[in-house]
Amino acid sequence: MPMDSKDRNVKKNKNFITSVEFAVTGVKTVFKEERNMRKHVAIGILAVLAGLFFGLNQMEWLWLLLAVFLVWIVEVINTVFENVVDMVTDCHFHPIGKKVKDMAAGAVLLTSGFALVVGLILFLPKIWFWFF
């Protein structure tokens, strides 16, 4: 979406509240426009609910929340890269743009893999104990 002159900030980060409002708008935009972000948030919420169900200890909570938030953060960064590439290329194919998008998507894949491993380490023993 193009910005006209009235949308631009003349001064950077006029105050803390304004900065927070811009940041919240950014998070809302990613959630609204990116299907994968909505999936990551849903899975993250399920993981937190599983943590509550299984009564994770403090260290386990730290690992779980690190994994969940890393996936969310990297998905936001991936979306930034995708939007910048689209803006620069005017949404036309460019081989370097494709490389940038692929690498950013790869970062999400790696982070999601990390989160999966953390989830398996945290929950498999608890599930095993619960059933056996």
Distance, in Å, from the CA atom of 94 to the CA atom of 102, rounded to the nearest integer, reads 12
pLDDT by residue for the chain (132 residues), tens only, comes to 455 545 555 566 579 999 999 999 999 999 999 999 999 999 999 999 999 999 999 999 999 999 999 999 999 999 999 999 999 999 999 999 999 999 999 999 999 999 999 999 999 999 999 898
Domain boundaries, the chain: 17-131
pTM for the complete prediction? 0.86
Q: In Å, what is the CA distance from 56 to each residue of 22, 49, 60, 72?
A: 34, 10, 6, 21
Q: Among this protein's residues, is 60 annotated catalytic?
A: no
- Outline where the chain has alpha helix (H): 16-33, 35-54, 58-89, 95-131
Q: Is 104 exposed, middle or buried (0-12, 13-18, 19+ CB in 10 A)?
A: buried
Pick the catalytic residue: 21, 60, 75, 82? 75
In Å, how far from its chain's centre is CA 96?
A: 23
Topology given in CATH for the domain delimited by 17-131: Helix Hairpins (1.10.287)
